[in-house]
Structure 1
Amino acid sequence: MAALGWLTPRRRSATARSVLAGEASAEAARKTTEVSDEVSAGVSTDVPGEKPVFPVHGDTKAAAFFDLDNTVMQGAALFHYGRGLHKRKFFQTRDLARFAWQQAWFRLAGFEDPDHMQDVRESALSIVKGHRVAELMSIGEEIYDEYMAERIWPGTRALAQAHLDAGQKVWLVTAAPVEIATVIARRLGLTGALGTVAESVDGVYTGKLVGEPLHGPAKAEAVRALASVQGLDLSRCAAYSDSHNDIPMLSLVGHPYAINPDSKLRKHARNLDWRLRDYRTGRKAAKVGIPAAAGVGAVAGGTAAAIALHRKRR
């Protein structure tokens, strides 16, 4: 931590939490690698969509890192997971509406307000506190089939498959809980997932996080930590994301891709001559970035309120 000495105490604390979150996520991912490898070996390669001109077949020093929300899957995994938990009476409709509002405001505002991010964090943790990890993992399997499977982007899935076909490991890197991220990765036949790590004691969630949500700089720290453990050469690795918040992660690797990019990432990618892929058809809806075809009134109401407030503050 000596290298952090030049930072202000507040910045130093935030950086330390990012490092802690990244290392915790990498450790959780490492523990699931062996199981994920067994699953990946039997995955079909018959996936529609385009493939990149690389990866180099047999390059074991390379791997691919994919953001999840709006990169691999339409919408936010955490929101779809929340819908599934709401259906199972984990919380009330008013809580779902509040969560939809938080998601919509975050995407529309285009910046991270610390107080707002804290509210989102506490809302999610309060839902799982006291529940068993195994219970949430089992429910996650059901929720994937109910809400997520049909929202996987075929084009991005094909990009991931190209890395698998070349004998490389493919990881999801997401702010979603590592448990649900691991379920998604396994169902897609990927190697594993780096996600937000919630503290648990004796298999029961405490309502606290290890570090902070795996978002922005924390994602880069997780990728860096995993690469170190697995002996990867980041200059030969690839990373894929839709969000400018993931520029730290994209900048780590030699092959960054902007997938369904937001306006800031699109501009940044063009300036640096990064590869771009856009699988969306409704560009206006994509700019808003809320879960596509969510089908619940809470999302519509939350989004409308967010738009109204956004316009009022302009």
Structure 2
Amino acid sequence: MRSRWEAHRPFGMSIAEKRLNIAGEASAEMAHALYEAAQDARDRAVPRDLTAAAFFDVDNTMVAGASSIHFIRGLAARDYISVRDMAGAGWTQLKFRITGKENSRDVASGKEKALSFIAGRSTAEFTQLGEEIYDELIADKIWPGTRALAQMHLDAGQQVWLVTATPVELAQVIAKRLGLTGALGTVLESKDGKFTGRLVGDLLHGRGKAHAIRGLAAREGLNLRRCTAYSDSFNDLPMLTAVGTAVAINPDSDLRVVARDRSWEIRDFRTGRKAAKVGIPTALALGALGGTVAAIASRRAEQ
């Protein structure tokens, strides 16, 4: 239980706020370093529009469903984690999908479980598995409409970043597969090529995402007023309000209300996902569990 001092500090940030800031700064630093390394290695052309960028949430914005659950399914199928751990994570996600609200105790519990089964694991192995699982379970869950929006920013010469609570190693896999600039994600502490079982700061969530975007903007020379952010969730309001243009993608009920009140673009690709047609957002135009268990059981039966 948090002490009164931890819960509220009238003359400074709370411990939770400090962790979110640390998480955002660590994510921005890693994302920038990986981007610079990729440019050196591939000799990428410099974007034509150097001060504008687009930031996309992942779950239910770029990917149908929760990317973490898709990855967990793949890890469980490879005996990387137990079916029991997978079921627990699935139940937490199910409650979120039904209620539209994130429970802080569920988030904390899920974080502890995730860190416990990843401690001591190889970072290289984790990334390799992420690539396999993306191709197997996530590739066909990308929203065509959202992907088209990201491509418009790329065609305009702008950087395009994913921003997610998913571990940065896995977020980078998604960004790479989609041909995006990179990803801001939760940074898992590692030493000598293995995860320690601790986070750098906290999950990249809520205000942490906004801090990460600001940190990246400072490193890349971006003008946040010329940037665009996309999300489905009211929880991402700090990120959406950190930039000049916000677009609600497949919004939850709370975000839909905010978007309407603030005259933000709303794009919903949930009906007929495979045939979704994308329209250019006005601001952009102007500016230029059962199936999872069965799958695992089937795999084990084949062994």
TM-score bracket for this pair, using the shorter chain length:
0.7 to 0.9
Q: 1:192 to 1:165 in 2, by over 3 A?
A: same
Measured against aligned partners, the alpha-carbon deviations of 1:27-61 in whole angstroms (never above 9, x if no partner) come to 1101111355577969xxxxxxxxxxxxxx94311
Structure 1's unaligned 5+ residue stretches are 1-5, 43-56, 284-292, 300-314
C-alpha contact (below 8 Å) 1:169/1:190 kept by paired residues = yes
Tell me the TM-score normalized by structure 1. 0.81
Distance 1:282 1:208 in 2: 40
Write the letter of the residue equivalent to 1:24: A
Determine the structure 1 residue equivalent to 2:299: none
Write the letter of the residue equivalent to 1:21: A
Determine the structure 2 residue equivalent to 1:302: none
C-alpha contact (below 8 Å) 1:40/1:190 kept by paired residues = no
Q: CA deviation at 1:282?
A: 7.6
Structure 2 residue 222 is the aligned partner of structure 1 residue 232: yes
Secondary structure at the counterpart of residue 103 of structure 1: helix
C-alpha contact (below 8 Å) 1:70/1:76 kept by paired residues = yes
- Sequence identity percentage: 54
With CA pairs under 8 Å and 6+ residues apart, which has the higher RCO, 1 or 2?
1
Distance 2:174 2:53 in 1: 18
Write the letter of the residue equivalent to 2:34: T
Determine the structure 1 residue equivalent to 2:286: none
Determine the structure 2 residue equivalent to 1:266: 256
Q: Choose 253-262 or 112-121, whichever is displaced more.
A: 112-121
Determine the structure 1 residue equivalent to 2:88: 98
* Counterpart among 35, 50, 74 of residue 33 in structure 1: 35
Large movers: runs of 4+ above 6 Å: none
C-alpha contact (below 8 Å) 2:63/2:138 kept by paired residues = yes
Q: Size of the alignment, in residue pairs?
A: 271
* Counterpart among 189, 202, 215 of residue 212 in structure 1: 202
Determine the structure 2 residue equivalent to 1:18: 20
Secondary structure at the counterpart of residue 296 of structure 1: helix
Distance 2:221 2:86 in 1: 42
Structure 2 residue 286 is the aligned partner of structure 1 residue 295: no
Structure 2 residue 102 is the aligned partner of structure 1 residue 112: yes
Structure 2 residue 181 is the aligned partner of structure 1 residue 155: no
Tell me the TM-score normalized by structure 2. 0.84
Write the letter of the residue equivalent to 1:77: S
Q: 1:160 to 1:294 in 2, by over 3 A?
A: farther
C-alpha contact (below 8 Å) 1:100/1:298 kept by paired residues = no
Write the letter of the residue equivalent to 1:116: D
Determine the structure 1 residue equivalent to 2:300: none
C-alpha contact (below 8 Å) 2:20/2:202 kept by paired residues = yes
C-alpha contact (below 8 Å) 2:50/2:221 kept by paired residues = no
Write the letter of the residue equivalent to 1:202: D
Write the letter of the residue equivalent to 1:33: Y
Superposition RMSD in Å: 2.4
Distance 2:199 2:52 in 1: 30
Q: 1:58 to 1:244 in 2, by over 3 A?
A: same
Determine the structure 2 residue equivalent to 1:53: none
Write the letter of the residue equivalent to 2:86: L
Write the letter of the residue equivalent to 2:237: I
